[in-house]
Amino acid sequence: MIDESLWNWDHVWAALPDMLVAFVKVTLLVTALGSVIAIVLGLVIALVRRRAPQPISGVVTFLMNFIRMTPLVVQLLFVYYAIPSVPGIVVGIVVFGVHYATFMAEVYRAGIDAVPTGQWEATTALSMSPARTWIAVVIPQAVRATVPALGNYVISMFKETPFLVAIAVMDMVGTAREYGAGTFRFTEVIIVAGVLFLVASYPTSLLIARLEKRLAHY
């Protein structure tokens, strides 16, 4: 028998429904929509830095580095208090998306640089326009090479959603802490939150590893 002073299943079953709701409505939602923003914006940033004139690419590079070197929680707090009319969940989605876009932009840059020189020369020999070169040749190869790294950043975003509590958005961990504060039972709910994170992220990491191996053969 487990000492109920250390572990009580009643607290698990009492807190689990609210934790699961927060997991779906906040944790997964912010991760999913934030990932879409990060993946698309990251590619845009990489292309701007590569193709835009120097003044524009220089400004984008400065902003990208500034965001990368600033803690995520500071960015959440700044935007939340600077634009108080915007709901916290929207702030979380946008800030997470923009923050991780700056990291994904570097991944895309590496993928673009990895496109063989012969591919660029072939597009020139075929008189392909710059737009078609990027859309039909460069971007598909760059994206295929960067999928595993992009997936790892999505997992990192997922694991950092507890920072949302800083702007009063109750994700799964925040809900667990709230239950613990009301019952003085933190052990059960925090462990359950950790297990749920593991159950959601570990299979995803295995899938990414498998995808990386498959892509290596193309």
Q: What is the pLDDT of residues 67-126, one digit of tens each?
A: 999 999 999 999 999 999 999 999 999 999 999 999 999 999 988 887 777 777 777 777
Provide the residue ranges of all domains of the chain, joining segments of one domain with +.
20-172
pLDDT tens, position by position, 154-179: 999 999 999 999 999 999 999 999 99
CA dist., res. 38 & res. 33, Å (int): 9
**What's the confidence (pLDDT) of residue 3?**
60
φ/ψ (deg, to 5) at 126: -90, 5
Q: End-to-end alpha-carbon separation of the chain, Å? A: 54
Correct CATH for 20-172 of 2.160.10.10, 1.20.1740.10, 1.10.3720.10, 3.40.50.2300: 1.10.3720.10
By CB atoms closer than 10 A (0-12, 13-18, 19+), residue 174 is: buried
Place of tokens 């959603």: 161
Q: Is this model's pTM higher than 0.85 or not?
A: yes
- 135 contacts 188 by C-beta, under 8 angstroms: no
